Structure 1
Amino acid sequence: MKPYVICHSLGSVDGKIKQDIWGYSDHHKYFEEPAAKIKADAWLVGRVTMQEFCSKKKHPLKKGRLNIPKTDYVAQYKTKTFAVVIDPSGKCQWDTNMVSTEHVIEVLTEKVPAAYLDHLRSKQVSYIFGGKTRIDLELVLEKLNSLFGIKVVRIDGGGHVNGSFLKAGLIDEFSFVLAPIADGTIGALTVFEVEKGYGKRMATRLQLQSVKKIFDDFLWIRYKVLRSATSPKG
């Protein structure tokens, strides 16, 4: 069973993700305060975003042959919420298995070395495998539900993570904080980075659910994804 997936993002009127030229010193609140009002069992980000929360020091990995099977590992945890990171090659390192009040779940491919799995186990960080060399996002979502009981996932990723879930047709709802900013930067990251060109992919259609004015000139817009009209999940 797949959890319900809400993609939450902050962007400009031309669809760009926050840059320094926007001039907001307190930009985090525009994303985080609305996000905190979305009821979810887990939030999910990519490896680059998660670097902000994991260890700032380098943990030396064990050398030599380690007999650790490439199977999912559910560590002991007492929390009811989770922080999930898409980390195919195993780059994030940890001092603890928590981010704030959330238990960490690493999403890996089977190409990660056993020494990295040993590091995660030593910190009681849970991990699941999303594929041999590439991440199967649908499989990941099913495992989050079956192994951890996660029913609602909020994606807080950047454009590439958002785009991957969009292309796979796995997003159920889009929560968008529209900043009163026209960025105008050619080539800057957008809310959804899917692929170059159009190919055979159809754009994803959305149905408006609500609009709320927040922070004076910002809009918090929530859409339902019209899956039957656009998605490969049909």
Structure 2
Amino acid sequence: MNRTLFCHMMMTLDGKITGNHSQFSETKKGGELYYEYGFTNEAPHPVDSWISGRSTAQKHFTDGNEPELTTDHEAVPDGDFIVDTDFDHYYVVLDGHGRVDWPKDTIEYNEFKAKVVVVVTEETSDDYKAFLRNKNIPYVIAGQSEIGLNDALDRLQQNFPMESFMVGGGAKLNWSFIKAGLCDELSLVVSPILEGDPEAIPFALPNRENDSTEPVPLELISNDTIADSTIYLRYKVKND
């Protein structure tokens, strides 16, 4: 199936995506450009699907708590749960352990509104699947105990009008897509500030238990200096 997938992040000059730098005015323009180049017609590729990991979803779209699940529900049918296949935008969250407590079936980020779709595994509990069904949140199953990224993309495209995917964190998810050879391009907004905190997280971080840590070659597509010393970088990921 044809698809485009790029990783889009805002970071500091020392490559960090967490820390205290967001409190400084030097990051204001970067925040504006992050939205413009990821969620509007100014994006390098028209985005119909935004992918993130569980912790990113919890941080931005829930209260951070896990759902209070119940066993008092109807039997959950085998297979995927597919509803609402006519949205313009989707927010895809990889949550194999069923930990995100969704308040509703859509998210809003400024003017960007999207239908939530969750990727689970065969071992995700029926109690959590029943929770999703009750919220009218579709899900696809990809993998036995761990989510298979290529399988997830295939299942999503088989069931929803998805062709252009933007991966937007967290760091381990970014690296997983890059190392799997599934990421075509990096789209990086760089703010003129150094984070400095050694505990701050970089935009891509291997899960050393099961991810390769070999370097990934890149090829520069473009580099633009925008207002307020903010830089926008695009790199092709050399997957061949």
Q: TM-score, normalised by structure 1?
A: 0.87
- Mapped to 2, the partners of 1:71 and 1:2 lie a distance apart of 24
Q: 1:200: Cα distance to partner?
A: 7.0
Q: 1:56: Cα distance to partner?
A: 6.8
Alignment CA distance shift 1:70-1:201 (3 Å) = same
Q: 1:104 aligns with which of 107, 116, 121?
A: 116
Moved more, 64-73 or 52-61: 52-61
Q: 1:129: Cα distance to partner?
A: 1.2
Cα deviation 1:45-74 (Å, max 9, x = unaligned): 111111121467775433257521341111
Q: 1:2: Cα distance to partner?
A: 5.5
Query: For this pair of structures, how many residues does the alignment match?
Result: 227
Alignment CA distance shift 1:75-1:22 (3 Å) = closer
Q: 2:94 aligns with which of 75, 86, 100?
A: 86
Q: 2:34 aligns with which of 21, 26, 31?
A: 31
Q: 1:45 aligns with which of 52, 61, 66?
A: 52
- The residue aligned with 1:232 is none
- The residue aligned with 2:80 is 72
Cα deviation 1:49-101 (Å, max 9, x = unaligned): 11121467775433257521341111135412100001111111223211122
- The residue aligned with 1:10 is 10
SS class of match (1:216): helix
Could you tell me which runs of 5 or more consecutive residues in structure 1 were left unpaired when the two chains were aligned: 229-234
Alignment CA distance shift 1:200-1:141 (3 Å) = closer
Q: 1:160 aligns with which of 166, 172, 181?
A: 172
Structure 1 position 216 matched with structure 2 position 228:
yes
Q: 1:130 aligns with which of 142, 166, 169?
A: 142
Structure 1 position 176 matched with structure 2 position 183:
no
- Mapped to 2, the partners of 1:218 and 1:64 lie a distance apart of 53
Alignment CA distance shift 1:15-1:74 (3 Å) = same
Q: 1:203: Cα distance to partner?
A: 1.4
Q: 2:200 aligns with which of 169, 188, 197?
A: 188
- Mapped to 2, the partners of 1:209 and 1:21 lie a distance apart of 27
| C-alpha RMSD of the superposition | 2.4
- Mapped to 2, the partners of 1:58 and 1:186 lie a distance apart of 29
- Mapped to 1, the partners of 2:23 and 2:105 lie a distance apart of 34
Structure 1 position 206 matched with structure 2 position 187:
no
SS class of match (2:123): coil
- Mapped to 2, the partners of 1:3 and 1:144 lie a distance apart of 11
- Mapped to 2, the partners of 1:58 and 1:187 lie a distance apart of 25
- The residue aligned with 2:103 is 95
Alignment CA distance shift 1:196-1:184 (3 Å) = farther
Asked if structure 2 preserves the Cα contact closer than 8 Å seen for 1:12 and 1:183, the reply is yes
Q: 1:23: Cα distance to partner?
A: 3.0
- Mapped to 2, the partners of 1:161 and 1:167 lie a distance apart of 10
Could you tell me which runs of 5 or more consecutive residues in structure 2 were left unpaired when the two chains were aligned: none
Structure 1 position 19 matched with structure 2 position 24:
no
Percent of pairs with identical residues = 29
